[in-house]
């Protein structure tokens, strides 16, 4: 069963619009129905034409668009589908009619070069706000086949975002059909699932991903729930250490225990070389790391990926395993904020510097895009490294649903 708004996506190809833009809440049924509609439209309109299917990266487009499409029963009954993996091309045929749908990644350098040489009958740009504008402009410029149309899909971002200003606000001027989605537009989501999604986001991400609003990131980055501070210490669990490295800037390490779906920050060490008037050496930092780890079976230490010398030192000592942290700032913050809200990250009251930074860590409101002020962010960074590297992708980090969430 499709909702009225989803039916409008299907009806788009029978209208005179040149483009369609669907934005709004997560999991509201935009991508899946747009894929069906895009391919149906192309199969009716063209024969022997190449079209583009673009995601943030080619891999995410394959996972979020191609793979779900290949297992739907509707297209399999209607078309012969051939996924040519090495070329990243989906060949769709119906009788003698055949079109090629090539996958590109907006953030992949190889895709930018590749798409420049193509002539396309249309492009579907999923997660368009996550792509560089230059890529999107290039993709649009390649659509020179007579009758070509543009298909855009995204979750909201800042109202200063170029896509919002140039396409959503100017939809009429561009002869684009604009459809805005809320969670209720997907009839397949149960009450329990809706509840889980609502609990999974907080602050600006709640406004964007749940309410579907184009909102600027303002104020404090994290709202720490009252019960997030606890002196409870689990008896068992998996132990990790996370590290944000600095010599002039503060150095912050935290000891974590993940137990029964909750991550507890048990203790921390925080050192501000500038404020203390003396810089510590890497060896002295390593001694502190060992002190924090003492008595715990540490699985690995997650380290600031730019701290090359410190990573080498830990490796050379051979006592602790090291992992370079995933460092996509915004998706790491989104995940951390969601888990804090769900009570899945707890902080011991002894972690005074984390608790201080939680009250100070702010969005940069003048930047016009999602950017944090790079102050009071050292424990914040080590916490984000831990979350993005250790907690991301686990069942309890639901709803980080997308293939490339973190």
Ligand X SMILES: Nc1ncnc2c1ncn2[C@@H]1O[C@H](COP(=O)(O)OP(=O)(O)OP(=O)(O)O)[C@@H](O)[C@H]1O
Task: Choose the contact partner of 186 out of Mg ion, ligand X, none; CB within 5 to 8 A by kind.
Answer: ligand X
Q: How far apart are CA 338 and CA 195, in angstroms?
A: 13
* Among the listed residues 5, 30, 88, 149, the single contact to ligand X using CB under 6 A: 30
Q: What DSSP assignment string belongs to 260-311? A: TTEEEEEEEEEE-HHHHT-PPPHHHHHHHHHHHHTTS-EEEEEE-TT-HHHH
In the complex, minimum distance from the CB of residue 148 to ligand X, in angstroms, rounded to a whole number: 23
* Among the listed residues 5, 21, 31, 269, the single contact to ligand X using CB under 6 A: 31
**Residue whose structure tokens are 């602790």:** 320
368 interacts with ligand X by CB under 6 A = no
Task: Choose the contact partner of 187 out of ligand X, Mg ion, none; CB within 5 to 8 A by kind.
Answer: ligand X
Q: Which CB, 154 or 388, lies closer to Mg ion?
A: 154
In the complex, minimum distance from the CB of residue 8 to Mg ion, in angstroms, rounded to a whole number: 16
Question: Residue 1 burial by CB count (10 A; 0-12/13-18/19+): exposed, middle or buried?
Answer: exposed
Per-residue 3-state assignment (H helix, E strand, C coil) for 221-244 = CCCCCHHHECCCCCCCCEEEEEEE
Q: Which CB, 29 or 105, lies closer to ligand X?
A: 29
57 interacts with ligand X by CB under 6 A = no
Q: Which CB, 142 or 208, lies closer to ligand X?
A: 208
Count how many residues are written for the chain.
406
27 interacts with ligand X by CB under 6 A = yes
* Among the listed residues 155, 331, 348, 354, the single contact to ligand X using CB under 6 A: 155
Q: Which CB, 42 or 154, lies closer to Mg ion?
A: 154
- Reported as type and span, the H/E element at residue 24 is strand 19-24
Q: What DSSP assignment string belongs to 47-106? A: SS-EEEEEESSHHHHIIIIIHHHHT-HHHHHH-EEEEETTTTEEEEEETTEEEEEEEEET
Q: What is the biggest distance separating any 2 CA atoms in the chain, rounded to whole angstroms?
A: 77
* Among the listed residues 28, 331, 342, 354, the single contact to ligand X using CB under 6 A: 28
In the complex, minimum distance from the CB of residue 76 to ligand X, in angstroms, rounded to a whole number: 14
Task: Choose the contact partner of 29 out of ligand X, Mg ion, none; CB within 5 to 8 A by kind.
Answer: ligand X
The 10 Å Cβ neighbour count of residue 281 is: 10
Q: Which CB, 30 or 149, lies closer to ligand X?
A: 30
Q: Which CB, 191 or 235, lies closer to ligand X?
A: 191
Contacts of 287 (CB under 8 A, 6+ apart): none
* Among the listed residues 132, 187, 261, 368, the single contact to ligand X using CB under 6 A: 187
Calculate the alpha carbon distances from 156 to 159, 162, 211, 219, 402 in Å: 8, 12, 9, 18, 15
- Reported as type and span, the H/E element at residue 113 is helix 109-115
Task: Choose the contact partner of 200 out of ligand X, Mg ion, none; CB within 5 to 8 A by kind.
Answer: none
* Among the listed residues 6, 28, 31, 348, the single contact to Mg ion using CB under 5 A: 31
> Which among 40, 32, 31 is positioned nearest to 12, based on CA atoms?
40
Q: Which CB, 66 or 292, lies closer to ligand X?
A: 66
In the complex, minimum distance from the CB of residue 4 to ligand X, in angstroms, rounded to a whole number: 11
In the complex, minimum distance from the CB of residue 96 to Mg ion, in angstroms, rounded to a whole number: 33
Q: Which CB, 99 or 186, lies closer to ligand X?
A: 186
The residue ranges that bind ligand X (CB under 6 A) are: 1-2, 6, 26-32, 155, 186-188
């Amino acid at each position: 069963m499709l909702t009225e708004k989803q039916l409008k996506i299907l009806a788009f190809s029978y209208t005179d619009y040149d483009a369609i833009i669907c934005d709004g809440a997560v999991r509201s049924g935009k991508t899946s129905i747009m894929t069906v509609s895009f391919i149906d439209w192309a199969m009716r309109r063209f024969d022997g034409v190449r079209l583009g299917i673009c995601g943030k990266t080619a891999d995410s487009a394959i996972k979020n668009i191609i793979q779900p499409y290949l297992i739907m029963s509707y297209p399999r009954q209607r078309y012969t589908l051939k996924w040519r993996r090495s070329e990243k091309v989906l060949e769709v045929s119906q009788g003698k009619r055949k079109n090629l749908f090539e996958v590109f990644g907006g953030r992949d350098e190889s895709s930018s070069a590749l798409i420049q040489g193509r002539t396309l009958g249309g492009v579907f740009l999923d997660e368009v706000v996550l792509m560089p504008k230059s890529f999107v402009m290039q993709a649009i410029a390649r659509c020179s086949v007579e009758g070509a149309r543009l298909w855009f899909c995204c979750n909201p971002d800042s109202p200063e975002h170029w896509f919002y200003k140039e396409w959503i606000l100017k939809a009429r001027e561009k002869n684009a059909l604009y459809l805005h989605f809320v969670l209720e537009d997907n009839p397949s989501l149960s009450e329990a699932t809706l509840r889980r999604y609502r609990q999974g986001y907080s602050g600006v991400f709640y406004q964007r991903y749940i309410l579907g609003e184009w909102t600027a990131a303002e104020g404090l980055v994290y709202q720490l729930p009252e019960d997030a501070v606890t002196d409870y210490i689990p008896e068992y669990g998996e132990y990790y250490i996370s590290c944000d490295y600095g010599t002039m800037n503060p150095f912050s390490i935290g000891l974590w225990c993940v137990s029964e779906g909750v991550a507890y920050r048990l203790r921390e060490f925080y050192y501000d070389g500038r404020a203390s008037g003396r810089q510590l050496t890497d060896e002295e930092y390593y001694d502190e790391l060992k002190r924090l780890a003492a008595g715990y079976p540490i699985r690995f230490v997650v380290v600031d990926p730019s701290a090359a010398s410190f990573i080498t030192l830990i490796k050379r000592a051979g006592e602790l395993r090291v992992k370079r942290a995933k460092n996509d700032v915004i998706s790491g913050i989104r995940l951390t904020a969601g888990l804090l809200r769900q009570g899945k990250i707890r902080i011991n009251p002894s972690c005074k510097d984390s608790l201080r930074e939680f009250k100070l860590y702010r969005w940069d409101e003048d930047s016009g895009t999602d950017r944090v002020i790079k102050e009071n962010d050292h424990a914040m960074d080590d916490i984000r490294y831990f979350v993005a590297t250790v907690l991301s992708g686990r069942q309890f980090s639901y709803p980080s649903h997308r293939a490339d969430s973190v």
